[in-house]
Protein backbone atom coordinates (compact mmCIF):
# COMPACT_ATOMS: atom_id res chain seq x y z
CA UNK A 1 0.00 0.00 0.00
CA UNK A 2 1.30 3.42 -0.89
CA UNK A 3 1.01 6.13 1.74
CA UNK A 4 1.58 9.86 1.74
CA UNK A 5 3.19 11.75 4.61
CA UNK A 6 3.40 15.43 5.31
CA UNK A 7 5.32 16.50 8.36
CA UNK A 8 8.18 18.70 9.48
CA UNK A 9 11.49 17.93 11.11
CA UNK A 10 13.93 20.51 12.47
CA UNK A 11 17.39 19.57 13.63
CA UNK A 12 19.86 22.39 13.25
CA UNK A 13 21.44 23.87 16.34
CA UNK A 14 19.30 26.99 15.94
CA UNK A 15 16.03 25.12 16.40
CA UNK A 16 13.96 25.90 19.45
CA UNK A 17 10.55 24.95 20.77
CA UNK A 18 9.03 28.29 19.83
CA UNK A 19 10.65 28.68 16.43
CA UNK A 20 11.07 25.35 14.67
CA UNK A 21 12.43 25.54 11.14
CA UNK A 22 9.66 23.98 9.05
CA UNK A 23 10.71 21.77 6.21
CA UNK A 24 7.53 20.15 4.94
CA UNK A 25 8.22 16.87 3.22
CA UNK A 26 5.77 14.86 1.17
CA UNK A 27 6.51 11.79 -0.89
CA UNK A 28 5.18 8.31 -1.57
CA UNK A 29 6.75 5.64 0.60
CA UNK A 30 9.47 3.82 -1.25
CA UNK A 31 8.70 0.26 -2.38
CA UNK A 32 10.50 -2.73 -0.91
CA UNK A 33 13.94 -3.98 -1.79
CA UNK A 34 14.52 -5.04 -5.37
CA UNK A 35 15.90 -8.41 -6.38
CA UNK A 36 19.21 -6.77 -7.21
CA UNK A 37 19.88 -5.65 -3.66
CA UNK A 38 22.97 -7.28 -2.13
CA UNK A 39 23.34 -7.80 1.60
CA UNK A 40 26.48 -9.38 3.06
CA UNK A 41 26.62 -11.80 5.94
CA UNK A 42 27.94 -9.12 8.32
CA UNK A 43 24.48 -7.52 8.14
CA UNK A 44 22.72 -10.82 8.69
CA UNK A 45 22.19 -11.80 5.07
CA UNK A 46 22.37 -15.11 3.29
CA UNK A 47 24.55 -15.57 0.23
CA UNK A 48 21.53 -15.32 -2.09
CA UNK A 49 20.99 -11.73 -0.97
CA UNK A 50 18.03 -12.35 1.35
CA UNK A 51 17.98 -11.27 4.97
CA UNK A 52 18.38 -14.28 7.21
CA UNK A 53 15.58 -14.94 9.67
CA UNK A 54 16.39 -13.71 13.16
CA UNK A 55 15.29 -15.84 16.12
CA UNK A 56 11.60 -15.34 16.83
CA UNK A 57 10.66 -14.90 20.47
CA UNK A 58 13.56 -16.98 21.75
CA UNK A 59 15.25 -15.97 25.02
CA UNK A 60 18.99 -15.62 25.28
CA UNK A 61 20.26 -18.95 26.59
CA UNK A 62 23.53 -17.67 28.06
CA UNK A 63 21.98 -16.27 31.27
CA UNK A 64 19.15 -16.96 33.70
CA UNK A 65 15.68 -16.89 32.17
CA UNK A 66 13.88 -13.57 32.61
CA UNK A 67 10.91 -13.25 34.91
CA UNK A 68 7.68 -12.90 32.93
CA UNK A 69 4.47 -11.21 34.06
CA UNK A 70 1.80 -13.71 35.15
CA UNK A 71 -0.86 -12.09 32.93
CA UNK A 72 0.96 -10.61 29.94
CA UNK A 73 -0.63 -8.38 27.33
CA UNK A 74 -1.82 -10.21 24.26
CA UNK A 75 -0.80 -9.73 20.65
CA UNK A 76 -1.84 -6.50 18.99
CA UNK A 77 -1.52 -2.77 19.58
CA UNK A 78 -1.69 -1.18 23.01
CA UNK A 79 -1.79 2.55 23.85
CA UNK A 80 0.04 3.03 27.14
CA UNK A 81 1.07 5.87 29.45
CA UNK A 82 3.85 6.26 31.99
CA UNK A 83 4.40 8.83 34.71
CA UNK A 84 8.01 9.98 34.69
CA UNK A 85 9.72 13.16 35.85
CA UNK A 86 6.45 14.66 37.01
CA UNK A 87 4.87 14.28 33.56
CA UNK A 88 2.58 11.74 31.96
CA UNK A 89 4.12 10.43 28.75
CA UNK A 90 2.59 8.04 26.24
CA UNK A 91 3.69 5.37 23.81
CA UNK A 92 2.25 2.68 21.57
CA UNK A 93 3.27 -0.94 22.05
CA UNK A 94 3.01 -3.54 19.30
CA UNK A 95 3.18 -7.23 20.20
CA UNK A 96 3.29 -9.53 17.17
CA UNK A 97 1.41 -12.81 17.09
CA UNK A 98 4.70 -14.72 17.11
CA UNK A 99 5.33 -13.64 20.72
CA UNK A 100 4.05 -16.34 23.05
CA UNK A 101 3.22 -16.04 26.74
CA UNK A 102 6.15 -17.10 28.89
CA UNK A 103 8.68 -16.85 26.06
CA UNK A 104 10.97 -13.83 26.21
CA UNK A 105 11.07 -11.69 23.07
CA UNK A 106 13.41 -8.91 21.94
CA UNK A 107 12.24 -5.30 22.27
CA UNK A 108 12.94 -2.28 20.04
CA UNK A 109 12.21 1.33 21.01
CA UNK A 110 11.64 3.37 17.82
CA UNK A 111 11.84 7.18 18.32
CA UNK A 112 10.30 9.70 15.92
CA UNK A 113 11.94 12.94 14.77
CA UNK A 114 11.37 16.50 16.00
CA UNK A 115 7.82 17.74 15.19
CA UNK A 116 6.75 14.23 14.17
CA UNK A 117 4.97 11.77 16.48
CA UNK A 118 4.57 8.10 17.33
CA UNK A 119 1.84 7.52 14.72
CA UNK A 120 3.94 8.80 11.83
CA UNK A 121 6.96 6.83 13.01
CA UNK A 122 4.93 3.62 13.16
CA UNK A 123 4.37 3.57 9.41
CA UNK A 124 7.43 5.55 8.35
CA UNK A 125 10.30 3.50 9.81
CA UNK A 126 9.24 0.03 8.69
CA UNK A 127 9.85 -1.47 12.14
CA UNK A 128 6.16 -2.27 12.65
CA UNK A 129 6.19 -4.56 9.62
CA UNK A 130 9.58 -5.98 10.61
CA UNK A 131 8.22 -6.71 14.10
CA UNK A 132 5.51 -8.92 12.62
CA UNK A 133 7.93 -10.56 10.19
CA UNK A 134 10.67 -11.31 12.76
CA UNK A 135 8.76 -11.68 16.01
CA UNK A 136 10.10 -8.86 18.19
CA UNK A 137 8.15 -6.31 20.24
CA UNK A 138 8.30 -2.67 19.18
CA UNK A 139 7.39 0.48 21.11
CA UNK A 140 6.82 3.94 19.63
CA UNK A 141 7.04 6.64 22.32
CA UNK A 142 5.80 10.20 21.87
CA UNK A 143 8.13 13.16 22.32
CA UNK A 144 7.44 16.11 24.61
CA UNK A 145 5.58 19.35 24.02
CA UNK A 146 3.59 20.74 21.12
CA UNK A 147 6.48 20.06 18.71
CA UNK A 148 7.13 16.54 20.09
CA UNK A 149 10.83 16.66 20.90
CA UNK A 150 13.47 14.57 22.67
CA UNK A 151 16.39 15.77 24.76
CA UNK A 152 19.20 14.27 22.71
CA UNK A 153 21.92 16.51 24.13
CA UNK A 154 23.28 20.00 23.68
CA UNK A 155 21.07 21.38 20.91
CA UNK A 156 18.36 19.02 19.76
CA UNK A 157 15.54 19.60 20.27
CA UNK A 158 12.78 21.97 21.32
CA UNK A 159 11.09 21.97 24.71
CA UNK A 160 12.74 18.72 25.77
CA UNK A 161 16.18 20.36 25.60
CA UNK A 162 14.95 23.70 26.96
CA UNK A 163 13.47 21.98 30.02
CA UNK A 164 16.42 19.54 30.29
CA UNK A 165 14.17 16.50 30.36
CA UNK A 166 15.71 13.17 31.27
CA UNK A 167 14.72 11.25 28.16
CA UNK A 168 17.44 8.66 28.78
CA UNK A 169 15.76 7.92 32.09
CA UNK A 170 12.38 7.89 30.37
CA UNK A 171 13.56 5.33 27.82
CA UNK A 172 14.85 3.06 30.58
CA UNK A 173 11.59 3.47 32.51
CA UNK A 174 9.57 2.55 29.42
CA UNK A 175 11.62 -0.62 29.00
CA UNK A 176 11.04 -1.50 32.65
CA UNK A 177 7.31 -0.87 32.39
CA UNK A 178 6.99 -2.96 29.21
CA UNK A 179 8.85 -5.81 30.93
CA UNK A 180 6.12 -5.75 33.56
CA UNK A 181 3.43 -6.17 30.89
CA UNK A 182 4.94 -8.67 28.45
CA UNK A 183 7.86 -11.11 28.57
CA UNK A 184 10.93 -9.18 27.38
CA UNK A 185 14.38 -10.63 26.82
CA UNK A 186 16.34 -8.14 28.90
CA UNK A 187 19.55 -8.93 27.04
CA UNK A 188 18.02 -8.06 23.68
CA UNK A 189 16.67 -4.52 24.02
CA UNK A 190 17.51 -2.09 21.19
CA UNK A 191 16.89 1.50 20.12
CA UNK A 192 16.41 3.16 16.77
CA UNK A 193 14.91 6.38 15.50
CA UNK A 194 15.23 9.15 12.96
CA UNK A 195 16.66 12.64 13.24
CA UNK A 196 16.05 13.86 16.81
CA UNK A 197 15.10 10.23 17.57
CA UNK A 198 18.31 9.01 15.95
CA UNK A 199 20.29 11.39 18.15
CA UNK A 200 18.50 10.01 21.21
CA UNK A 201 19.46 6.51 20.05
CA UNK A 202 23.11 7.59 19.99
CA UNK A 203 22.71 9.06 23.48
CA UNK A 204 21.19 5.84 24.81
CA UNK A 205 24.22 3.94 23.54
CA UNK A 206 26.45 6.48 25.28
CA UNK A 207 24.59 6.65 28.59
CA UNK A 208 22.41 3.54 28.91
CA UNK A 209 24.61 0.72 27.61
CA UNK A 210 23.53 -1.45 30.54
CA UNK A 211 19.99 -1.54 29.09
CA UNK A 212 20.37 -1.25 25.31
CA UNK A 213 22.37 -3.98 23.60
CA UNK A 214 22.81 -2.10 20.29
CA UNK A 215 21.37 0.90 18.44
CA UNK A 216 20.46 1.89 14.88
CA UNK A 217 20.25 5.69 14.52
CA UNK A 218 18.92 7.13 11.25
CA UNK A 219 19.79 10.67 10.10
CA UNK A 220 21.25 11.52 13.49
CA UNK A 221 24.46 12.63 15.16
CA UNK A 222 25.92 12.43 18.65
CA UNK A 223 24.40 15.58 20.14
CA UNK A 224 26.03 15.45 23.56
CA UNK A 225 29.67 16.64 23.75
CA UNK A 226 31.32 13.80 21.90
CA UNK A 227 34.08 13.34 24.49
CA UNK A 228 31.41 12.64 27.11
CA UNK A 229 30.08 9.68 25.14
CA UNK A 230 31.96 7.06 27.14
CA UNK A 231 29.76 3.98 27.70
CA UNK A 232 30.69 1.41 30.29
CA UNK A 233 31.22 -1.22 27.61
CA UNK A 234 31.69 -1.41 23.82
CA UNK A 235 28.35 -0.96 22.02
CA UNK A 236 27.42 -2.16 18.55
CA UNK A 237 26.07 0.64 16.34
CA UNK A 238 24.68 0.71 12.81
CA UNK A 239 23.92 4.20 11.49
CA UNK A 240 22.10 5.22 8.32
CA UNK A 241 22.57 8.65 6.74
CA UNK A 242 21.65 10.38 3.51
CA UNK A 243 24.55 11.72 1.46
CA UNK A 244 22.44 14.82 0.71
CA UNK A 245 21.03 15.40 4.18
CA UNK A 246 20.00 19.05 4.32
CA UNK A 247 19.46 19.24 8.10
CA UNK A 248 22.05 17.02 9.79
CA UNK A 249 25.32 17.27 7.84
CA UNK A 250 26.72 14.01 6.50
CA UNK A 251 30.06 14.91 8.12
CA UNK A 252 28.40 14.96 11.56
CA UNK A 253 27.25 11.39 11.03
CA UNK A 254 30.72 10.31 9.86
CA UNK A 255 32.26 11.92 12.95
CA UNK A 256 29.82 10.02 15.16
CA UNK A 257 30.80 6.72 13.54
CA UNK A 258 34.49 7.57 13.87
CA UNK A 259 33.85 8.03 17.59
CA UNK A 260 32.15 4.65 17.89
CA UNK A 261 35.00 2.98 16.01
CA UNK A 262 37.36 4.49 18.58
CA UNK A 263 35.18 3.69 21.61
CA UNK A 264 34.72 0.09 20.50
CA UNK A 265 38.43 -0.34 19.80
CA UNK A 266 37.94 -1.47 16.20
CA UNK A 267 41.27 -2.29 14.58
CA UNK A 268 40.23 -3.10 10.99
CA UNK A 269 39.81 -0.65 8.13
CA UNK A 270 36.20 -1.66 7.54
CA UNK A 271 34.75 -3.57 4.61
CA UNK A 272 31.75 -3.04 2.35
CA UNK A 273 28.98 -5.31 3.59
CA UNK A 274 26.07 -3.95 1.57
CA UNK A 275 25.82 -2.25 -1.81
CA UNK A 276 22.94 -1.15 -3.99
CA UNK A 277 23.21 1.63 -6.54
CA UNK A 278 24.72 4.67 -4.85
CA UNK A 279 24.02 3.27 -1.37
CA UNK A 280 26.40 1.13 0.67
CA UNK A 281 27.34 0.04 4.19
CA UNK A 282 30.88 -0.20 5.57
CA UNK A 283 31.26 -2.41 8.64
CA UNK A 284 34.07 -2.57 11.19
CA UNK A 285 34.08 -6.04 12.70
CA UNK A 286 37.40 -6.38 14.56
CA UNK A 287 36.17 -4.59 17.66
CA UNK A 288 36.26 -5.21 21.39
CA UNK A 289 33.90 -7.74 22.99
CA UNK A 290 32.65 -8.92 19.60
CA UNK A 291 30.97 -5.63 18.77
CA UNK A 292 30.57 -4.22 15.26
CA UNK A 293 30.20 -0.68 13.94
CA UNK A 294 28.50 -0.11 10.58
CA UNK A 295 27.89 3.08 8.62
CA UNK A 296 25.37 3.02 5.78
CA UNK A 297 25.41 5.86 3.25
CA UNK A 298 22.12 6.21 1.40
CA UNK A 299 21.29 8.14 -1.74
CA UNK A 300 18.90 10.38 0.17
CA UNK A 301 18.20 13.66 1.88
CA UNK A 302 17.23 13.96 5.53
CA UNK A 303 14.30 11.52 5.57
CA UNK A 304 16.46 8.64 4.45
CA UNK A 305 13.71 6.04 4.82
CA UNK A 306 12.92 7.43 1.35
CA UNK A 307 15.96 7.06 -0.85
CA UNK A 308 16.89 6.86 -4.50
CA UNK A 309 17.94 3.22 -4.34
CA UNK A 310 14.78 1.98 -2.59
CA UNK A 311 16.81 0.57 0.30
CA UNK A 312 14.48 -0.52 3.08
CA UNK A 313 16.24 0.35 6.32
CA UNK A 314 14.34 -1.73 8.89
CA UNK A 315 15.36 -5.21 7.62
CA UNK A 316 19.02 -4.16 7.42
CA UNK A 317 18.89 -2.58 10.86
CA UNK A 318 17.21 -5.60 12.45
CA UNK A 319 19.59 -8.06 10.79
CA UNK A 320 22.43 -6.12 12.46
CA UNK A 321 20.82 -5.45 15.85
CA UNK A 322 19.60 -9.00 16.36
CA UNK A 323 23.16 -10.34 16.30
CA UNK A 324 24.04 -8.62 19.59
CA UNK A 325 23.04 -9.17 23.21
CA UNK A 326 24.06 -7.60 26.49
CA UNK A 327 27.04 -9.32 28.08
| CATH code for the domain of 244 | 3.40.50.1820
Please indicate, yes or no, if residue 47 is contained in any of the structural domains. Answer: yes
Dihedral pair phi/psi, residue 261, rounded to 5°: -60, -40
Q: What is the pLDDT of residues 185-243, one digit of tens each?
A: 999 999 999 999 999 999 999 999 999 999 999 999 999 999 999 999 999 999 999 99
For residues 62 and 46, give the distance between their C-alpha atoms in angstroms, rounded to a whole number.
Answer: 25
Is residue 268 a part of any domain in this protein? yes
Instruction: Judge whether residue 26 has pLDDT over 60.
Output: no
Total number of domains constituting the chain:
1
Is residue 15 domain-resident? no
pTM of the model: 0.83
Confidence band, pLDDT 50/70/90 cuts, at residue 52: very low
Residue 23 within any structural domain of the chain: no
Establish if 262 belongs to a structural domain: yes
Helix or strand or coil: residue 26? Answer: strand
Q: Does a structural domain hold residue 2?
A: no
Instruction: Give the pLDDT confidence of 66-108 residue by residue, as tens digits.
Output: 579 999 999 999 999 999 999 999 999 999 999 998 899 999 9
Phi-psi region of 5 (alpha: psi -120 to 50; beta: other; left: phi over 0): beta
- Domain range holding 143? 33-321
Distance in angstroms (rounded) separating the CA atoms of residues 182 and 101: 8
Closest C-alpha among 227, 241, 223, 300 to residue 13: 223
Residue 219 lies in a domain: yes
Q: Which residue has the higher pLDDT, 266 or 42?
A: 266
Query: For residue 260, is it within any domain?
Result: yes
DSSP readout, 240-306? EEETT-SSS-HHHHHHHHHHHHHHTT--S--EEEEEETTEEEEEE---GGG--EEEEEES-SS-TTS
Give residue-wise pLDDT tens across range 290-315: 999 999 999 999 999 999 999 999 99
Is the pLDDT at 50 greater than 80? The verdict is no
Amino acid sequence: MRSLALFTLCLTASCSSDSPAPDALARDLAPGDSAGERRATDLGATHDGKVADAPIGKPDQSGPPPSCPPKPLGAGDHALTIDFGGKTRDYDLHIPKAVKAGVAAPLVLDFHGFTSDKVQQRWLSGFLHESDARGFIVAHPNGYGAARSWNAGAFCCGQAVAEKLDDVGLAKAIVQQIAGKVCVDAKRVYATGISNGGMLSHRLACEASSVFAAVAPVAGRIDIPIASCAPGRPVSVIAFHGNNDELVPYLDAKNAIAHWVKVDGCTDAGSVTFSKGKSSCTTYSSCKAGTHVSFCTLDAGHISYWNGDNVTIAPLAWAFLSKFTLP
